[in-house]
A = this chain, B = another copy of it.
């Protein structure tokens, strides 16, 4: 029997009682930031639930983790607290449970219409790392930038390549991104280009939010890495391809990536994603022992990107990809990150890198979709090589329940 909530949830909602993603919000402008979970068209205010003493399990009883303006304290508590919170909330929101359902005063305080709230960054992000974990993306970038000889560098198949990103410019979905100025490659007989980026791009990514961290010098075992990951967000790693192409040798991306990185307000927990787990990609060559997982899994998360061109009413889907296309799992990414002894902290963000699938209509950025501007896309009759001022980019991720029980 499917668990149902007393809160009405439309069949196509992304926020049934099975999901319960976490975020941080203000019920109204100027009010205090607090944690919440999404349920249908509402946000459940966890500070009110905590104040009412309804988190009564051993991990959360008396804790002030939901009275904080961010999720960091809850993230640091780890999976026992996360599982307990999920069980408490699923029970509290269940159709059969009277505690909240029949308490009009508490419902009034704790269930806030989603359309009224202001969503904020869910955590203080100490450090942000971006991986490069899709083979299709790595291959396409190699073909475009370096040509058909060895488009993927030999190291790529041995380790999850990554770079340190910029934490200060991470913003919540909906924040305007200002087109960066910067340098581009010189043209014949002239100095470098300088001006607004002419190749502004999105990158379809997801990112893991780190739970408990590790001490400096103490790597995390790959088979325990999942206990350090709270959940996943959608992430747009906005990229200025001309700035990136000129600056990135030999120290990697810098200003071409650090003018803004957008994450979704809702963190979908690994616990909620568990029923959508699928086999990870086959890895050849076999990874080194420190990257070898007893159970190596991925998640079947459908991903779509739409662009609403400036001045248009309608948006167009420009790609459909899936989280399961990643070659390196998020647990391998986290274990690799710490193998040197590098310490992670609660709230750290580990981006997957652009999630491109194998087919041209599943590529995760305009660089690949238009092959560096050589094959413009047509959106509602208007052409796009890269993003234009006023374009809106919309990411969607969802998991589809398989109706294996449909005849029962």
Taking Cβ atoms with an 8 Å cutoff, the residues of A that contact B are 126-127, 132, 141, 145, 153-155, 158-159, 161-169, 171, 178, 180-183, 186, 191-192, 194, 213, 216-217, 219, 240, 243, 246-256, 258-260, 285, 288-290, 336-337, 339-345, 348
Contact = CB atoms under 8 A, between A and B. Distances in A.
21 contacts: A127-B167, A154-B186, A158-B183, A159-B246, A161-B251, A163-B164, A164-B164, A167-B167, A168-B344, A169-B216, A169-B341, A178-B216, A178-B341, A180-B339, A181-B290, A182-B339, A191-B285, A243-B340, A248-B250, A251-B253, A258-B340
Contacts of A141: 250
Contacts of A348: 168
A240 B340 contact: yes
Nearest to A341: B259
B260 A252 contact: no
Question: Of A154, A155, A178, A260, which is in contact with the most chain B CB atoms at under 10 Å from its CB?
Answer: A155
Contacts of A169: 216, 341-343
A335 to B, nearest CB: 12
Contacts of A339: 180-182, 255
Q: Which of A240, A247, A253, A345 has the most CB of B within 10 A?
A: A247
Nearest to A142: B250
For the residues of A in contact with B, the DSSP-based class is loop
A155 B246 contact: yes
4 cross-chain pairs, A with B, having the tightest CB-CB distances, nearest first = A252-B252, A180-B340, A178-B217, A163-B251
B164 A166 contact: yes
Contacts of A126: 126, 167-168
A342 B248 contact: no
B155 A249 contact: yes
A246 B247 CA distance: 20
B181 A219 contact: yes
Given A155-B192, A181-B219, A259-B342, 8 more contacts: A126-B126, A155-B183, A158-B186, A162-B251, A164-B254, A168-B213, A191-B288, A192-B288
A181 to B, nearest CB: 6
Contacts of A342: 166, 168-169, 180, 255, 258-259
A386 B407 CA distance: 68
Nearest to A252: B252
A339 B180 CA distance: 8
Given A167-B167, A288-B194, A250 B153 contact: yes
Nearest to A159: B183
A394 to B, nearest CB: 21
A127 B165 CA distance: 9
A178 B218 CA distance: 9
A255 B180 CA distance: 28
A155 B247 contact: yes
Contacts of A165: 164
A78 B168 CA distance: 19
Contacts of A155: 183, 192, 246-247, 249
A34 to B, nearest CB: 23
A166 B130 CA distance: 12
Nearest to A176: B217
A183 B132 CA distance: 17
A253 B255 CA distance: 16
